[in-house]
A and B are shown apart, each in its own frame.
Chain A
Amino acid sequence: MIWSSWSEFIEMGGYAGFVWWSYGVTVVFMVGEVVLLSKRKRTIIQRLGRFIRADRSKRNAE
């Protein structure tokens, strides 16, 4: 550990704005991509599941 205190770590040797904005935006982009993707996957599986069940019950009724 190279930092002697919490505030020293936050200050990043005077470059806090540059370092934390870089890391922050990167995290937002990558986490955002994962969240949107898993949402998309859930929606697809739900929609296709409904579609397939409807198709089957229609066929059963015929």
Chain B
Amino acid sequence: MAKSRFWLYFSSPKTFYPFSGKLIPWCVGVAAVLMAVGLYMGLLVTPPDYRMGDSYRIIYIHVPAVWMSMIIYMVMAGWAAVGLIWNVKLAEMMAGALAPTGAIFTVIGLWTGALWGRPTWGAYWVWDARLTTYLVMLFLYMGYIALRSAIDDPRRASKASALLAIVGGINVPIIYFSVKWWNTLHQPFTVAPGQESKIDPTMLWTMMIMVIAFWAYTLAVSLIRVRCDILEREKNSSWVAELLQGSSAGNKQ
């Protein structure tokens, strides 16, 4: 079965470690370049909004951060499910490595949202369906991280926290559709599949550049984190010993 061997090849930490190490510099490069372009466009080139003036420039970090935090949650829950069902150690580690970055983006989303809400709506925070369900996601992230670190045995910690991640996954579509299902203070979709976007093309492009930059950033950071986790969990294996002996002999790690 060549196919299963192919997946086995990449799901083994021993082969994944050097492979991901080659991927990281590319992700870092893409993230750095696109972030520089996005910030330049967002702060210096794009025109102000006809109603919100220059306060709308928060969109260029608010929307990418919020999208990223929700996508990361779904991917994290997906890895957690793979780890739970097929008992793949690397999938468990990937899920755990994504959580801190997802939580950070959620905090950024809430923070920038508050600072945008004040000049736009007249309030930093309201308990409408969109904002409340999004806050729930922050608690899910924190619960997930806390549960993982509360259980000493990494396999058991992964199994227990995977259940929380999967169950909490229900919240993500609720966040997304909340502006459609209920009347909220938060405005409905500006950009959505199957609908003409209601944003000026230059603004849209700038936002999309930042979205891709945040993707690359997330990939880089989560890969670095999962490599740390791999080293810690596999520290007694011979390949780690060989790898680190090579690095202590002066080779580039």
Contacts and interface: CB of A to CB of B under 8 A. Distances in A.
* A/B touching: CB–CB < 8 A: yes
Interface of A: 1-3, 9, 12-15, 18-19, 21-23, 25-26, 29-30, 33-34, 37-38, 40-41, 44-45, 48-49, 51-53, 55-56
A20 to B, nearest CB: 9
A6 to B, nearest CB: 11
A9 B108 CA distance: 23
A56 to B, nearest CB: 8
Contacts of B39: 23
Interface of B: 39, 43-48, 53-55, 57-58, 61-62, 65, 100-101, 104, 107-108, 111-112, 115-116, 118-119, 217, 221, 224-225, 227-228, 231-232, 235, 240-241, 244-245, 247-248, 253
Contact of B47 (A2, A21, A45): A2
Nearest to B58: A22
A42 B116 CA distance: 38
26 contacts: A9-B44, A14-B54, A15-B55, A15-B57, A19-B54, A19-B57, A22-B58, A23-B39, A25-B108, A25-B112, A29-B107, A37-B221, A37-B224, A37-B228, A44-B228, A45-B231, A45-B244, A48-B231, A49-B248, A51-B235, A52-B244, A52-B245, A52-B248, A53-B245, A53-B248, A55-B241
A56 B112 CA distance: 52
A22 B235 contact: no
